């Protein structure tokens, strides 16, 4: 009698997913967790569109000649790949999904400070996305995702305007998310949740939000100016009419360099959580990791000129930007060393999230170090606009960000869905992604170093170049499988996965004290925090106090 009561109680326990059904309950939700799911679904959709463009690019490069597509189509393919991936996938990826879902849970709040603005930001995102999809359907854009004038403002016969409007609109979604997060961290923390008790993911998200609110308005006004220039041809970026095209590059990179940190900082936050929790160890140098996020956010605004070493920027400015870029390596290095120190003598377990975290560490170090090559004034003259650059930023933006994103999705999937993903397939996907990624992008370092320029549909008929390009394309297929796998088994687990306990890993952090999946307002009573971040003794006490913990983990 009692047993059945208990089991039905766990079966039909009310949570944010089953509280109501139907499309209206999703499209008009103000629950941060449901909005995170809306973002997750839309970002996944655009990710596969962007991936399809990348697939076409890689297919064309299988052979030296342009036999699949010609230059004009190829330009549109790589541009749309970049536009979809940067503005609709990578920028919102972790903040809008994991950040939205976890931020209130991690600080013990019922929701974000402005739930309706949160929903509004998703609609704005979808409106921007609609413009970009229109641009894609109406023929695409051929300027490269950087939209440099005067080509983009005068000569290009492609959908620059529609894509620009889409980026302008989507930017406001990013701004509103950042604004919401900043206010939430300042005002919604539970009693006892001091700044230095916050999980490092919250610190990283907070730092990201600073970049979002300060950087995104600049790209918005820049794209606006570009759109007006294209519409009315006023001459603001046209050298023939006294305008300055390099001004566009300055404004563009003032946002777009920090935008890389909008992508990577949240991933770093995820990795901090994964490493501390999967080693069951207090993170080494908590304050250093926390402040390095802020340092990256602030100093990230001072290095944009390293994209203009070959664009008529003065050599003296170049020297300053080069030095600052090197200095910016320091906070990233601090994080990496602290993560490694945390791994040392930790009681590690090798579930999927940890495998992704290891993958992140390897790829991020390579991506970061090659960034220093490009920040060196002299070497950049050789490497500028070659595949070396392409490989470098993919190591950061795909190897780093997507590894963190996928690792985080696996780690928090029990919390998000209430179900466990299949561990075997999870590990397999991590392996596929890691191997596929390196096979795709490592050859590109070599190609770039040998002088293969980016953005060309054809290359000289050279055996070594073709071998490396074939390797890259083969790797892209493996990578594609690695990305499709999680989508399939996550969907599968929603129905057939093992039911997850509140804290399956077990891990520290308030989000693991809420039910899996949480109720609409996250906590039955507002939690009072009396322990430090990553205090695993406290987790143990919780476990012992809670006899109903169903899943025991070998530690």
Partner 1 sequence: MAESHTIKHHPALKHHFDTMEQQREAGTIGMWVFLLTEIMFFGGLFLAYIIYRAKYPAGFEAASNTLDVYLGGFNTVVLILSSLTMAMSVYCAQTGKQKMLIVYLVLTLILGSVFLGVKAVEYEHKFEHHLFPAVGFYDWTHEPGHDPQLADQARIFLWLYFAMTGLHALHMVVGAGMLLVLIYFAWRGKYSPEYHAPIELGGLYWHFVDIVWIFLFPLLYLLGFHLGGH
Nearest distance from residue 169's CB to Cu ion, in Å? Answer: 24
Partner touching 141 among partner 1, Cu ion, none, CB below 5 to 8 Å by kind? none
Partner touching 431 among partner 1, Cu ion, none, CB below 5 to 8 Å by kind? none
3-state SS string for 470-501: HHHHHHHHHHHHHHHHHHHHHHHHHHHCCECC
Q: Does 114 bind partner 1 (CB under 8 A)?
A: yes
Cα-Cα-Cα-Cα dihedral sign, residues 174, 177, 182, 185: negative
Nearest distance from residue 252's CB to partner 1, in Å? Answer: 10
- Please name the residues in contact with 118: beta carbons below 8 A apart, sequence gap of 6 or more: 30, 32, 35, 100, 112, 176, 177, 180
Cis before 517? omega within 30: yes
Q: Does 457 bind Cu ion (CB under 5 A)?
A: no
Interacting residues with partner 1 between 199 and 258 (CB under 8 A):
213-218, 220-222, 225, 228, 231-236, 241-244, 247, 251
Instruction: Describe the chain by its helix, strand, coil percentages, rounded to 5.
Output: 70, 0, 30
> Distance from CA of residue 31 to its chain's centroid?
22
Nearest distance from residue 113's CB to partner 1, in Å? Answer: 4
Rounded CA separation 186/389 (Å): 38
| Angle separating helix axes 245-278 and 286-299, nearest 10 degrees | 170
Partner touching 242 among partner 1, Cu ion, none, CB below 5 to 8 Å by kind? partner 1
Taking the least distance from each CB to Cu ion, the nearer of 34 and 394 is: 394
Considering only 17, 36, 175, 290, the residue that binds partner 1 (CB under 8 A) is 175
Rounded CA separation 87/77 (Å): 16
Partner touching 244 among Cu ion, partner 1, none, CB below 5 to 8 Å by kind? partner 1
Window contacting partner 1 (CB under 8 A); options: 72-80, 112-120, 150-158, 264-272:
112-120
Window contacting Cu ion (CB under 5 A); options: 38-46, 116-124, 250-258, 538-546:
250-258
Taking the least distance from each CB to partner 1, the nearer of 262 and 507 is: 262
Interacting residues with Cu ion between 11 and 40 (CB under 5 A):
none
Nearest distance from residue 307's CB to Cu ion, in Å? Answer: 5
Q: Does 183 bind partner 1 (CB under 8 A)?
A: yes
Nearest distance from residue 182's CB to partner 1, in Å? Answer: 5
Nearest distance from residue 550's CB to Cu ion, in Å? Answer: 47
Nearest distance from residue 166's CB to Cu ion, in Å? Answer: 23
Q: Beta partners for 453?
A: 386
Rounded CA separation 151/356 (Å): 40
Q: Exposed, middle or buried by CB within 10 Å (0-12, 13-18, 19+), for 397?
A: buried
Q: Does 257 bind Cu ion (CB under 5 A)?
A: yes
CB 302 within 8 A of CB 325: no
Partner touching 17 among partner 1, Cu ion, none, CB below 5 to 8 Å by kind? none
Partner touching 458 among partner 1, Cu ion, none, CB below 5 to 8 Å by kind? none
Per the structure block, which two tokens stand in for 548? 């109903």
Taking the least distance from each CB to Cu ion, the nearer of 358 and 441 is: 441
Q: Helix, strand, or coil here: 188?
A: coil
- Please name the residues in contact with 182: beta carbons below 8 A apart, sequence gap of 6 or more: 206, 209, 210, 213
Q: Does 186 bind partner 1 (CB under 8 A)?
A: yes
Considering only 127, 154, 179, 334, the residue that binds partner 1 (CB under 8 A) is 179
Rounded CA separation 476/239 (Å): 40
Partner touching 216 among partner 1, Cu ion, none, CB below 5 to 8 Å by kind? partner 1
Nearest distance from residue 224's CB to Cu ion, in Å? Answer: 22
Residues 180, 182, 186, 189: what is their CA dihedral angle, to the nearest 10 degrees? 60
Taking the least distance from each CB to partner 1, the nearer of 184 and 293 is: 184
Rounded CA separation 461/485 (Å): 35
| Residues 488-527 as x/- pattern, contact with partner 1 by CB under 8 A | ---------------------------------x----x-
DSSP class of residue 85 equals: I
Q: Helix, strand, or coil here: 19?
A: coil
Q: What angle do CA 223, 224, 226 make, to 5 degrees?
A: 60
Partner touching 257 among partner 1, Cu ion, none, CB below 5 to 8 Å by kind? Cu ion
Window contacting Cu ion (CB under 5 A); options: 257-265, 399-407, 418-426, 471-479:
257-265
Q: Helix, strand, or coil here: 544?
A: helix
Total residues at interface with partner 1 (CB under 8 A): 41
Nearest distance from residue 365's CB to Cu ion, in Å? Answer: 18
Considering only 4, 12, 157, 187, the residue that binds partner 1 (CB under 8 A) is 187
Partner touching 111 among Cu ion, partner 1, none, CB below 5 to 8 Å by kind? partner 1
Taking the least distance from each CB to Cu ion, the nearer of 230 and 257 is: 257
The b/e string for 192-222 (b: 16+ C-beta within 10 A; e otherwise) is ebeeebbbbbbbbbbbbbbbbbbbbebbbeb
Taking the least distance from each CB to Cu ion, the nearer of 257 and 335 is: 257
Q: Does 285 bind partner 1 (CB under 8 A)?
A: no
Rounded CA separation 229/340 (Å): 49
List residues near Cu ion by CB under 5 A: 257
List residues near partner 1 by CB under 8 A: 109-115, 175, 179-180, 182-184, 186-188, 213-218, 220-222, 225, 228, 231-236, 241-244, 247, 251, 521, 526
């Amino acid at each position: 009698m009692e047993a059945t009561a208990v089991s039905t109680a766990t079966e039909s326990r009310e949570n944010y997913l089953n509280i109501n059904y139907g499309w209206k309950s999703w499209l008009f939700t103000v629950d941060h967790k449901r909005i995170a799911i809306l973002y997750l679904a839309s970002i996944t959709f655009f990710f596969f569109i962007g991936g399809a463009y990348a697939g076409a690019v890689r297919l064309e490069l299988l052979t030296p000649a342009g036999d699949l597509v010609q230059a004009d189509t190829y330009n549109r393919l790589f541009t749309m790949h970049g536009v979809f991936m940067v503005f609709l996938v990578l920028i919102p990826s972790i903040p809008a999904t994991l950040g939205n879902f976890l931020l209130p849970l991690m600080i013990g709040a019922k929701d974000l400070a402005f739930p309706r603005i949160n929903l509004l930001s998703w609609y704005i995102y979808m409106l921007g996305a609609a413009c970009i999809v229109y641009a894609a359907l109406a023929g695409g854009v051929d300027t490269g995702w950087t939209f440099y004038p005067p080509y983009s403002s005068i000569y290009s016969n492609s959908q620059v305007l529609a894509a620009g409007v889409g980026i302008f609109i989507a930017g406001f979604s990013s701004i509103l998310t950042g604004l919401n997060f900043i206010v939430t961290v300042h005002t919604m923390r539970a009693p006892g949740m001091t700044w230095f008790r916050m999980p490092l993911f919250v610190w990283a998200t907070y730092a990201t939000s600073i970049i979002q609110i300060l950087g995104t308005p600049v790209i918005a006004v820049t794209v606006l100016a570009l759109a007006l220039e294209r519409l009315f041809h006023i001459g603001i970026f046209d050298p023939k009419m006294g305008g300055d095209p390099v001004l566009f590059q300055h404004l563009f990179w003032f946002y777009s360099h920090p935008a890389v940190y909008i992508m990577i900082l949240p991933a770093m936050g995820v990795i901090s959580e994964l490493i501390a929790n999967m080693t069951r160890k207090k993170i080494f140098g908590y304050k250093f990791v926390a402040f390095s996020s802020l340092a990256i956010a602030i100093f990230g605004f001072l290095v944009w000129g390293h994209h203009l070493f070959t664009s008529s920027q003065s050599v003296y400015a170049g020297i300053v930007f080069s030095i600052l870029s090197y200095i910016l390596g320091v906070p990233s290095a601090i994080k990496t060393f602290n993560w490694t120190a945390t791994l040392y003598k930790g009681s590690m377990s090798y579930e999927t999230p940890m495998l992704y975290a290891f993958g992140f560490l390897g790829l991020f170090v390579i991506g970061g170090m090659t960034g220093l090559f490009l920040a060196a004034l002299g070497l950049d003259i050789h490497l500028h606009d070659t595949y070396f650059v392409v490989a470098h930023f993919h190591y950061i933006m795909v190897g780093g960000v997507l590894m963190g994103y996928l690792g985080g999705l696996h780690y928090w999937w029990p919390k998000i869905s209430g179900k466990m993903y299949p561990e075997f397939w999870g590990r397999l996907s991590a392996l596929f992604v890691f191997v596929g990624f390196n096979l795709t992008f490592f050859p590109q370092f070599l190609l770039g170093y040998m002088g293969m320029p980016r953005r060309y549909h054809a290359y000289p008929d050279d055996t070594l170049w073709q071998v490396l390009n074939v390797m890259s394309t083969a790797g892209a297929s493996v990578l594609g499988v690695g990305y499709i796998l999680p989508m399939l088994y996550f969907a599968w687990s929603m129905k057939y996965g093992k039911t997850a306990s509140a804290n399956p890993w077990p891990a520290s952090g308030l989000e693991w004290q809420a039910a899996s999946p949480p109720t609409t307002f996250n906590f039955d009573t507002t939690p009072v925090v009396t322990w430090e971040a990553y205090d695993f003794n406290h987790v143990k006490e919780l476990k012992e106090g809670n006899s109903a913990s169903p899943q025991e983990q070998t530690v």
